[in-house]
Amino acid sequence: MSKDDKILKEFTSKEYEHGWSVDFDVDQAPIGLNEDIVRLISKKKEEPNWLLNWRLEAFSQFKKMKEPDWSNLNIPKINYQDISYYSAPKKKKMLKSMDEVDPELIKTFEKLGISLLEQKRLSGVAVDAVIDSVSIGTTFKDKLSELGIIFCSFSEAVKEHPHLVKKYLGTVVPSKDNYFSCLNSAVFSDGSFCYIPKGVRCPMELSTYFRINASNTGQFERTLIIADQGSYVSYLEGCTAPMRDENQLHAAVVEIHAEKDAEVKYSTVQNWYPGDKNGKGGIYNFVTKRGICFGNNSKISWTQVETGSAITWKYPSCILKGDNSIGEFYSVAVTNNYQQADTGTKMIHIGKNTKSKIISKGISAGFSQNSYRGHVNVIKRAKNSRNFSQCDSLLLGNTCGAHTFPYIDIENKSSMVEHEATTSKIGEDQIFYCLQRGIDEENAIALIVNGYAKEVLKQLPMEFSVEAQKLLSLTLEGSVG
């Protein structure tokens, strides 16, 4: 084994940190997927009729659809009848504030480094904590509501702000959009809802922390973010799951709606359990994220750091409908061991003078496969539009794979698209250079990888950025060639 392979091996063999689970009483739906389950979920959530019907329609559609097979993923057969579609920690009564949340749950999140007690929180971040299928609480709600900002669980939004939910739900990602969005529309259980009123600049980061705890369950949450005219919000999403030998399904939908002059920054640090060294277990992550720059001069920016999951299938996209609107996609996707990722973005230019930027950094190690898939579409009337795409792949070792699938359609002459792609390996020279300065192998790899991903990492809010850098190093611990 060469020196590099040895470093590679050590660096890639780090254990997953959030692999524990907690036993608390749960209210879980029976295993299986059928109309009764859809009705049961809706009933448990005390939903209005229109929403139940919306679900049922999605479900009847879902039954007619087939799993997508165009990705560069090897997806084992998933038995959708073998999953419980609803699991919630049992509540004693309706909660009025975070102080009433079961201390066990609060402890669970504290173990993850997320404090739900407001006095302990960094004052710059409000959190909605979602465990399995339900939100267990949202911090700083009162403070935000003084500004007219609504930040709550999806279920609560359905109850308290039905007109907003009804108006926007499914408008960016129609339930029929794809197999997984359709499944989600039928069985989604909770998620976060956020509305920023006209002209308001949200003073703190809003964040949702997703945790899958129960076994044999899937997590199907929805997030809906509405930024009204001239508003601004930065939104964060984090996720972890216990180590389990069986695969668990996570099929989420995120919709963002940006009105005129509004700006939404959406950042994700995805750290679902990736499975063990031999590829056993791990989360299947099939997520549909899409935002629409509805009004003129609006902007949506996606930043994602994807380190976890056994399989990642995810393409956060922007529909640039408003003139002069801007869509951005910054991504670092790290795969190790037997992980597979097929991720990228779609930028659909509809308005005039629209701009999009895609920076994708793939890092593959072990026996993993890492694909970038992107689609830039500039329609005829989107005059003077611009896209810049840069897709880089970094290989650690020679048993992994990196692939790039850029699709570009431009339907007018005044628009311009630039695409750059590179594939490189961490050089032995680079490592030796670091070693020679007294930096050990582990830190050398961390330094090089973080340097490589810097353009993306610097897009993250400060607190997340530090965490993400650590995570990159942890995920890759043991790997270079």
CA distances from 275 to 16, 269, 279, 365, 446 (A): 9, 17, 5, 14, 22
Count the site residues for other proteins by CB under 8 A: 25
Nearer to other proteins (CB atom), residue 5 or residue 177: 5
Closest CA to 30 of 87, 84, 89: 84
Residues, the chain, total? Answer: 481
Say whether residue 448 binds other proteins (CB under 8 A).
Answer: yes
Contact with other proteins (CB under 8 A) among 143, 439, 463, 467: 439
Asked whether the beta carbons of 274 and 311 are under 8 A apart, the reply is: no
Give Cα 165 distance to the centre of its chain: 21
d(CA 74, CA 85): 24
Q: Name the pairing type of β-strands 232-240 and 326-335.
A: unpaired
Nearer to other proteins (CB atom), residue 7 or residue 126: 7
Amino acid found at 170 = G
Nearer to other proteins (CB atom), residue 100 or residue 440: 440
Say whether residue 1 binds other proteins (CB under 8 A).
Answer: no
Of residues 280-339, which lie at the interface with other proteins (CB under 8 A)? none
Closest CA to 277 of 336, 328, 227, 320: 336
Segment interacting with other proteins, rule: CB under 8 A, options 135-143, 164-172, 316-324, 448-456:
448-456
Binding flags for other proteins, 106-145, as an x/- string (CB under 8 A):
----------------------------------------
Nearer to other proteins (CB atom), residue 372 or residue 452: 452
d(CA 38, CA 36): 5
Say whether residue 436 binds other proteins (CB under 8 A).
Answer: yes
Contact with other proteins (CB under 8 A) among 421, 451, 462, 466: 451
Say whether residue 438 binds other proteins (CB under 8 A).
Answer: yes
Contact with other proteins (CB under 8 A) among 433, 462, 466, 470: 433
Which residues are CB-neighbours of 399 under 8 A, at least 6 positions away? 366, 367
In the complex, minimum distance from the CB of residue 398 to other proteins, in angstroms, rounded to a whole number: 17
Binding flags for other proteins, 374-413, as an x/- string (CB under 8 A):
----------------------------------------
Which residues are CB-neighbours of 448 under 8 A, at least 6 positions away? 426, 430, 431, 434, 480
In the complex, minimum distance from the CB of residue 124 to other proteins, in angstroms, rounded to a whole number: 21
In the complex, minimum distance from the CB of residue 465 to other proteins, in angstroms, rounded to a whole number: 13
In the complex, minimum distance from the CB of residue 443 to other proteins, in angstroms, rounded to a whole number: 6
Asked whether the beta carbons of 288 and 178 are under 8 A apart, the reply is: yes
Nearer to other proteins (CB atom), residue 235 or residue 464: 464
Say whether residue 276 binds other proteins (CB under 8 A).
Answer: no
Asked whether the beta carbons of 306 and 275 are under 8 A apart, the reply is: no
In the complex, minimum distance from the CB of residue 455 to other proteins, in angstroms, rounded to a whole number: 7
d(CA 418, CA 175): 32
- Residue 364: strand pairing partners: 335, 395
CA distances from 176 to 40, 52, 182, 288 (A): 22, 16, 5, 12
Say whether residue 429 binds other proteins (CB under 8 A).
Answer: yes
Amino acid found at 98 = M
Encoding tokens for residue 291? 């935002």
In the complex, minimum distance from the CB of residue 89 to other proteins, in angstroms, rounded to a whole number: 42
The residues that touch other proteins, with contacts defined as CB under 8 A, are: 3, 427-430, 432-441, 443-444, 447-448, 450-455
